[in-house]
Amino acid sequence: MDKYDIHEALPFKLMVVLGKMNKILQTKLDQHFLQFDLTSTEFMVLDALWTHKKLPIQQIGTIVLITSGAITHVLNSLIKKGYVKRSQSEEDKRVFYAELTEEGKKFWINFVPRHQKFMRNLFSEFDQNKLNQLTELIKELGLYIMNR
C-alpha cells in the first residue's frame, strides 16, 4: 500500500466488510420476517420471552439492546397481534412484565422450524466448523470492542 501501513488499513477494511455484511444480512432477515408480519426487533423480543418466559419490560430492552421507548412500541405491536400480554407486578406496582400468550406460543412453535430452515439455507455454503469459528471470532471481537 502506498502511504498506509497494512496494519492501519486492515481494521478499516474489517469495519467496512462487517458493516456491509451486517446490512446484507439485515435486509435478508427483514424480508424473511416480513413473510410472518414481524420486524427483526419483534423477533428478538419474542425470542427473549420464549427463552425467559416472563420478563420485566425494562429487562427486555436490555436483552435486545433497545431503548425503553422502543420496547414500549414493539410490545404494543406484539400485544395488538395477540402474541404478548403485559401484567403489573403484585409486589411493586411500578414494575410491568411481558410474556407470551397462548397464541404467541403457537406462533413461535410454528415459526421456529421455518426460521431455522431459512438460516440453514442462508449459511449452507459453510460447514459447522467454519460457522463455529466465525461465531467465536465475532463474539471475541464484539467483547473486545465493547470493553475498549
Q: Chain-centre distance of CA 144, in angstroms? A: 20
For residue 6, the model assigns a pLDDT of 61
pLDDT at 3 > cutoff 90: no
| Residue 28 contacts residue 121 (beta carbons within 8 Å) | no
Residue 37 has pLDDT above 60, yes or no: yes
- Could you state, in order of their start, the residue ranges of all structural domains in the chain? 36-146
The answer to whether 93 and 57 have CB atoms below 8 angstroms apart is no
Whole-angstrom Cα distance, residue 119 to residue 4?
38
Q: Are 54 and 99 in contact (CB under 8 A)?
A: yes
Mean pLDDT of the chain: 92
CATH of domain 36-146: 1.10.10.10
pLDDT digits (tens, 9 = 90+) for 90-131: 999 899 999 999 999 999 999 999 999 999 999 999 999 999
- Strand 84-88 vs strand 54-56: parallel, antiparallel, or unpaired? unpaired
Of the two residues 15 and 79, the one the predictor is more confident about is 79
Distance of CA 133 to the CA centre of its chain: 20
- Its pTM stands at 0.84
Helical spans, DSSP H, in the chain: 6-34, 40-52, 57-64, 68-80, 102-122, 128-146
